[in-house]
Amino acid sequence: MKFKLKNAEKFGWKGIKGKAYNSKEIFANASAAYIEVAGAHGKIKITGMDGIYLVLEGRGEFVIGNETIQAEKMDVVIVPKNTPYNYKGKMKLFLVHCPAFDPNSEIKLE
């Protein structure tokens, strides 16, 4: 399977804009997204999948559970399912959810 950024579905909110390459309906085992961060994501917990973030550009901070992690270009940050997290900074990220992202599994915590 191959997905192109130009065909990806746009999403975003204050401080976050991105494009989702695929949905769980297209491929249930994993999904991918490109994200531009210029602020904070907002604290959430995702119950059904792990998240793997690759920092493509910039710097930022991830708060995963009670741990604060500084992240910069080419770092990989893994967020286990059922773990509260947030991130902020000025970064470009590539995200993989395993299994694929399901919006029904996202719980906003703030």
Q: Which among 102, 101, 93, 33 is positioned nearest to 62, based on CA atoms?
A: 93
Question: How does 61-92 read in b/e, with b if 16+ C-beta sit within 10 Å?
Answer: ebbbeeeeeebeeeeebebeeebbbbbbbebb
Domains detected in the chain = 16-108 (2.60.120.10)
pLDDT in tens, the chain (110 residues): 999 999 999 999 999 999 999 999 999 999 999 999 999 999 999 999 999 999 999 999 999 999 999 999 999 999 999 999 999 999 999 999 999 999 999 999 98
Cβ atoms within 10 Å, residue 108: 8
- pTM value surpassing 0.85: yes
